[in-house]
Amino acid sequence: MALWITWVLVRAGRTAWTNRRLVRLLWRGITAAVVGRALALVVAVMLTAAVLLTLPGMDVGIGSLLDFDANAVFTPLEQAVQLAGPAPVVGPDWVLAGLATVFLGALALVIPWLAFIEEEVFRGGLEQADGLGQLRSALRFGLVHLVMLVPVGATLAISVAGLAYGRRYRHAHSTLAVPVVPPIALQAYRPTKRAVAALREADHLEEAVTRQAAGVLASAQLHATFNLMVIGLIWFAITFDALTR
């Protein structure tokens, strides 16, 4: 598992480097307003997960069935910590703090690119969806995280984030004026089947593509900021525990 996840992250890192101009654009889009929205969303998702995971059956997932109690993304870090040997009985665990900083720092560099790809897949074309369609899209986004070995309750909480990303996409898409999208984001945007179907209904194809790219860019910025906050909280928890033993 650790080797496979490492291979996936390395490939994602190579692709993110190839698209580094877009990644920089996403980083620059993390404004104070986006940070505020992401922070509120982190709180909402965590509270939802805390409630859902107390309900019967909500703590079940692929991970629990495999007797694995961690998010699959962090298996390379766990494996590296195990290979580094036992932690000191007393005093700071500098090895754990260092490994966490390197791994999570590298992951943070890839997150904006991964967020953009996910927003292409799950939000592109969502302008044509009614309320039920938006909910289905959010649920699919949450449930796909089952492959990361998180329990059902956590995936349903992640669906709350998916719903927020969808609203952000639709807001950016539906602005009255034709949005100005940086060329790099417009070039990187690849419509999915749902997005193409929505484009067929448009009167002005070029404007419709621009609006979809603007929506994906806006939702990807919120998505990336949310994920970066979560990574930051995990890094803080690990390093604080490692250095205050």
- Across the chain, what does the average pLDDT equal? 91
Q: Which residues of 79-103 are buried (b: 16+ CB within 10 A; e: fewer)?
A: ebbeeeeeeeeeeebebbbebbeeb
DSSP, res 88: P
Q: What is the three-class DSSP state of 53?
A: coil
pLDDT beyond 80 at 102 = yes
Nearby residues of 199 by Cβ (< 8 Å), 6 or more positions away: 125, 191, 205, 208, 209, 212
pTM value is 0.93
Q: Name the pLDDT band for 7 (thresholds 50, 70, 90).
A: confident
- Residue 186: other Cβ atoms inside 10 A: 15
Q: Mean pLDDT over residues 142-156, rounded?
A: 92
Q: Name the pLDDT band for 176 (thresholds 50, 70, 90).
A: confident
Q: What is the pLDDT of residue 1?
A: 65
Q: Hey, CA dihedral for 133, 138, 142, 147, is it positive or negative? A: positive
Which region among 16-30, 32-46, 77-91, 196-210 has the lowest average model confidence (pLDDT)? 77-91
Q: Name the pLDDT band for 236 (thresholds 50, 70, 90).
A: very high
